[in-house]
Structure 1
């Protein structure tokens, strides 16, 4: 089969490799769509994967085309998203179903082969069945959508909350869409890129601000009747973005740190005082919840898409096949064009 294989840092080659075969308890998935995550860019061009060669790609959906021993053959032809984390199932976190904090996990697309390929073998346990009413591209966005809802659940979002999101990339906009669906009174988006803010407004977000040009704290207070935001999510992974969240939060508010930083995260004395004097609750968020209780966030994402309460189709700005994948990722790295969600598709 054809796959995009990372042989070393910045050495991504599209080539023929052996077709995977599903083992006992596994299924073979024909990859139909795989989103390019922001984390894939440093993974390919600067940091590398955990070993080489590796096939990257972890935001994917496809069609079950074969099954291994012990798996019901009636699943062949089913559409599915795939939870890419492979937990050890034996550590304290796994024992309570908190698989995202597993002490010894594997991960498709970084620690083992992922979905920038025509096929991938996956454990049946990782398969999330999806209805035919959803396109493969929508199903592939279950991964970032689950990450976004997990962050808001960490913030204990409630109906009527004013939600401030720093960072208007794909996850930031998904956070905003989730907050609207959850019943937020206002959703406020900040970024330093005018094109991202313009795109956010096209998706229906009324309250946007350029954090480079305006005083974010004053702007948030003007929008929230001088109260501040109940929930703030840091989605850019930068120190100024973190400080803006602390300043935007109301007294007693909740701040969730989600952005994946490219370098050091530093907090000023004034930022630290915001935490103390407002008695803020500051939480981290990582990945998503795949446990059956209290809710599997992957299934929740698909349910909301089917119900029409979470429409992510408009976030896709670029599509590519495997042969054009490196060029698309270079565009993302160099920011030579505006993009939101870039998607590898294999619909033939």
Structure 2
């Protein structure tokens, strides 16, 4: 089968590799859709760790081809979504009920072969059957949607909240959908990419601000009668928007650092503002115990149009170039055509 291999360089190498037959507790999946995450881009840029040689792609879904003798949660032909993390179960975070902070974590697409290949063999406990009516492309968004769900849980969006989201890519839109379902009264999205702003409006969000030409702080002030946002979600992964999040929050406001800033980057934050307004700042990483919930709620999320670009596996270099340019919302690799 064909696979896009990360060998430690800045480009993926299209290579023929052996298909791995499933063990007794494993599932062989014929990959239909694998979407590009910002983390994948960071890996190729040398800003995020992965263990070469490895097949990248940790957001993927496909149809079950074969199952091991112990597998009971799926059968050949099922459309399934993969939660790509494997935790050790023995380190302190695992034993305190926080496995997503595992100190010895493995993950398909990071140090185990992931979704940018024609077939993937994964453990049965990471496989989730997809509800009727949900496409494989939507199912591939299960991992990022689970991460967004964990973030919204962490920042505790409540009924009537004004929510500001800094960054209107795929994650920003999914965060908006989840905040809406939790009862947010108003959602303001800041996004500098003109094409994305049009797509955000097409999704039904009218409060979209261009931070390069508009005064976002003034827009938030006007929307909240000068009070500031109840919740601010940093979804761009940039130090300047992390600092901006603190400035936009109201007294008693909550701030979520969701976007992945490159390690070592620093943001300048006024401690007195955090103190005087009694702000709560939380981080959010991965998707602990959310994938099942995502599959349950997926039919209500209306994510079908999040995938805006599709590429064959042989054109994966072009796909990453499009992702780097910020084309569309979510870019999908179709390994089997």
Aligned to 1:255, the other structure's residue is in SS state strand
In the alignment, structure 2 segments of 5+ residues that lack a partner are: none
Q: How far did 1:198 drift?
A: 2.3
Q: How far did 1:47 drift?
A: 4.3
Compute the RMSD of aligned alpha carbons.
1.8
Q: How far did 1:273 drift?
A: 2.6
TM-score (norm 1): 0.91
Return the alpha-carbon distance in structure 2 between the equivalents of residues 108 and 205 of structure 1. 34
Aligned residues: 337
Decide whether aligned partners of structure 1 residues 137 and 73 sit closer, same or farther in structure 2, where only a CA change above 3 A counts. Answer: closer
Aligned to 1:132, the other structure's residue is in SS state coil
Instruction: Quote the residue 1:282 is aligned against.
Output: 281
Q: How far did 1:98 drift?
A: 2.1
Decide whether aligned partners of structure 1 residues 47 and 155 sit closer, same or farther in structure 2, where only a CA change above 3 A counts. Answer: closer
Return the alpha-carbon distance in structure 2 between the equivalents of residues 47 and 242 of structure 1. 18
TM-score (norm 2): 0.94
Return the alpha-carbon distance in structure 1 between the equivalents of residues 102 and 264 of structure 2. 25
Instruction: Quote the residue 1:231 is aligned against.
Output: 231
1:344 counterpart = 2:333: yes
Aligned to 1:176, the other structure's residue is in SS state helix
1:301 counterpart = 2:300: no
Residues 90-169 of structure 1 mapped to structure 2, 5 A cutoff: 90-169=90-169
Moved more, 257-266 or 232-241: 257-266
Q: How far did 1:316 drift?
A: 1.2
Aligned to 1:8, the other structure's residue is in SS state coil
Return the alpha-carbon distance in structure 1 between the equivalents of residues 13 and 211 of structure 2. 38
Return the alpha-carbon distance in structure 2 between the equivalents of residues 81 and 93 of structure 1. 25
Q: How far did 1:346 drift?
A: 4.3
CA contact (8 A) 1:163 1:186 kept: yes
1:312 to 268, 293, 303: 303
1:322 counterpart = 2:313: yes
Superposed CA offset, 1:239-288 (max 9, x none)? 2211221111110010011111136443435x333212211001110011
Moved more, 44-53 or 8-17: 44-53
Aligned to 2:46, the other structure's residue is in SS state helix
CA contact (8 A) 2:155 2:256 kept: yes
1:54 counterpart = 2:54: yes
Return the alpha-carbon distance in structure 2 between the equivalents of residues 48 and 229 of structure 1. 32
Return the alpha-carbon distance in structure 1 between the equivalents of residues 74 and 217 of structure 2. 56
Q: How far did 1:220 drift?
A: 0.4
Q: How far did 1:318 drift?
A: 0.3
Q: How far did 1:201 drift?
A: 1.3
Q: Which runs of 4+ in 1 moved over 6 A?
A: none
Moved more, 78-87 or 42-51: 42-51
CA contact (8 A) 2:80 2:139 kept: yes
